[in-house]
Structure 1
Amino acid sequence: MPTISAGALKRMLSLPSNIVVRKPRIGEDTHGGTVVTVPVRPYANDMDRCAKCGRHGRPYDWLGTRRWRHLDLGCARLLLEYAPPRVACREHGVTVAMVPWARRKSAYTRDFEQQVAWLSVHAPRSAVSALMRIDWKSVGPVCKRVADDLRAEQGGGLFDGLRSIGVDETSYRKGHRYMTVVVDHDRGRVVWMHEGHGEGVFRLFFETLTEAQRASIRVVTGDGARWIDSCVGEFCPQAERILDGFHIVSWATDALDKVRTMVWREARRTGEARK
């Protein structure tokens, strides 16, 4: 019977290069679906690293076997299996050792979480849950872990260097549930969001910034809400307040529709309307 090498299996599953892969097992879950379990372990040099700081720690004890959900292999669920040790870190005490394929306190691999987070940007949570075959309550924590990693990669100065920002409120749930979102136009990313809308919520954003961070803001875009004007005038008097293009076009279109309706009614009243 033909077999596949460990190196080829790692490349096929896009697993980190610093892990050892053993012979996979094929079984069934409680619903009769196919499950492929792949025993893995980190390289010896990476087995005793603290999951919080990444430094080597003194081996403390071993935990039971754990499994991490990886990207599906066709129609089969794929699980990585390993019994991680606990290490005694000088800074963080006794903690579970880091594994190269997953984030701390996660039951999913990094690749799996990356796909869930990407899908969550383009589809509702119920659709992501059904497609990835996970509980819908797990989607939010997965997205938070991915977002935390992205923020760490971008550095701690998320609000540093803000020059041109935009603010708007968006409905995220039935029943008029709104969220206020602030974006950085220069870098094309969301920098702040909070449940609710109005002056009280927007003030929370400016109160989060330092004086230097507020002083760097030169442009604030948004709709014609007066609460935006009042907050900008109070916290960033040096900033120029600009109406964003989306709302300008929307208002112009609405005004044009009203004029068109008024002219049509007048034409019908005077008998000048033509088919």
Structure 2
Amino acid sequence: MRATSLVKQMLGLRGVTVTEVLLGSGILVIKLRLTRSSLVCPKCSYVTRACYDTRTLDSRWRHLDMGAHQTWLSCQLRRLRCPTHGVITEAVPFARPVGESRFTRDFEHLVVWATAKMDKTTVTRLLRVAWRTVGTICERVVAEELNPNRLDDLFVVGVDEISFRKHHNYLTLVTNHDSGKIVYGAEGKKAKSLDEFFNDLGKERTANIKAATMDLGPAFAKAFREKAPNAQICLDPFHVVKVRHEAPCIPAVMKGHRLWDVAASQRS
């Protein structure tokens, strides 16, 4: 088997042919050629067979590493005139439009997956990318992959906060208990951290929420009492048991009080 054929199978990319493989000092450059003859607009998928001019652009994208070698894909691209977007460089099947990213989609998805499993510093060392690049890639992928229907059919939700950056900052997260997936996140842990969530949800979908689980903190309960008064507030059993052991007198004073109010008074 030829080296180019072997590399093509290893890449697993469709719509391209490997024309040359160049191995340098820790860097592997794979030259590609698109198999299609037509040109495709990267923004609206407009297809044409007419080139705008004879000019070609040598573009490169960082791809998944092969062993210890940084892998770069190189391809000569043509330009077309799109009725909507004007003169633009044609699309490639493995990456975003030229100028938006210098990484392949496979590489960007790997960065996002790694970021969800480990700290950012480890990701930069493992994948050999800059600190800011990790954040930029995550923003691009989330903006594209975020399910626009994630806030539909919310009936039972969970609200909690997590700390990051050595516990000096917090994120408020909302989970759909039916699917087990996080559907919203915002910085902070106050009631206003949920403002955008209810704005995106709208009055009709907010009215569909039957119950919301949360800890004993008053902020989240306040937000749901104001924005979703029909939702039943359910307290996390862990925190209830913890407060019960710390304050044995709570059962005696609970009558006629809301548990989160009692818990707050005990902490104060």
2:193 is the counterpart of 1:196: no
2:162 is the counterpart of 1:170: yes
* Aligned counterpart in structure 1 of residue 126 of structure 2, from 117, 127, 131: 131
Please give the per-residue CA displacement for 1:74-130, whole angstroms capped at 9, x wherever unaligned: 111111001322322222223332111112311111111111111100111110000
2:49 is the counterpart of 1:27: no
2:11 is the counterpart of 1:13: yes
- Partner residue in 1 for 2:108: 113
Percent identity of the aligned residues? 33
Instruction: Note the residue ranges of structure 2 that are not aligned, 5 or more in a row.
Output: 249-268
TM-score normalised by L of structure 2: 0.82
1:204-215 superposed matches below 5 A: 204-215=196-207
* Whole-angstrom distance in 2 between the partners of 1:180 and 1:144: 18
2:47 is the counterpart of 1:50: no
- Partner residue in 1 for 2:255: none
CA drift of 1:203 comes to 2.6
- Partner residue in 2 for 1:99: 92
Secondary structure in 2 matching 1:59: coil
Kindly tell me: are residues 95 and 162 of structure 1, through their superposed partners in 2, closer, same or farther at Cα, counting changes over 3 Å? farther
Q: Work out whether residues 4 and 18 of structure 2, in 8 Å CA contact, stay in contact via their aligned partners in 1.
A: no
- Partner residue in 1 for 2:64: 71
* Whole-angstrom distance in 2 between the partners of 1:41 and 1:253: 69
CA drift of 1:245 comes to 4.1
* Aligned counterpart in structure 1 of residue 73 of structure 2, from 45, 61, 80: 80
Secondary structure in 2 matching 1:217: coil
1:146-185 superposed matches below 5 A: 146-151=141-146, 154=147, 156-174=148-166, 176-185=168-177
Give the partner amino acid of 2:123. V
Kindly tell me: are residues 63 and 252 of structure 1, through their superposed partners in 2, closer, same or farther at Cα, counting changes over 3 Å? farther
Give the partner amino acid of 2:142. A
* Whole-angstrom distance in 1 between the partners of 2:216 and 2:29: 56
Give the partner amino acid of 2:87. V
What count of residue pairs does the alignment treat as equivalent? 244
Task: Please tell me the root mean square deviation across aligned C-alpha atoms, in Å.
Answer: 2.3
Instruction: Note the residue ranges of structure 1 that are not aligned, 5 or more in a row.
Output: 29-33, 257-275
- Partner residue in 2 for 1:4: 3
* Whole-angstrom distance in 2 between the partners of 1:241 and 1:100: 47
- Partner residue in 2 for 1:262: none
Kindly tell me: are residues 168 and 90 of structure 1, through their superposed partners in 2, closer, same or farther at Cα, counting changes over 3 Å? same
Kindly tell me: are residues 250 and 73 of structure 1, through their superposed partners in 2, closer, same or farther at Cα, counting changes over 3 Å? farther
Kindly tell me: are residues 27 and 173 of structure 1, through their superposed partners in 2, closer, same or farther at Cα, counting changes over 3 Å? same
